[in-house]
Structure 1
């Protein structure tokens, strides 16, 4: 993947009319990236996608745009075009 042409999380959110925030819910991140919610949840539980559970909550993990971008970048390393 050519990262110089890849859209950032914020650019994709803008296109969907999702306002800029410091952190997004996994549902919002799913909508922005097109990655299924369950996949994001599994990746967070496995520690591959950095996330934060707000203090006092038992559910509702949150991710920062840069964490999602890093996860996507790390997931594309070593993948060759067919």
Structure 2
């Protein structure tokens, strides 16, 4: 988890500077497009961690409805990752 944490911090720094400098380098985008783009980029490295947490929860639960919901959420995370 320490490696994932360090990679995430490096990812945020690189893309944060890219977003700040992109404005001054004449990258033509509205604030909402840029904000959405940055949120996706910041959350992208965390998807394997979310996958691990959701999978662990789905394996431990006794309620079938919660398990199905967890597996559907896993499917969404995997689709976002690819």
Q: TM-score normalized by structure 2?
A: 0.27
Which one has a bigger Cα radius of gyration? 2
Larger helix percent: 2
Q: TM-score normalized by structure 1?
A: 0.27
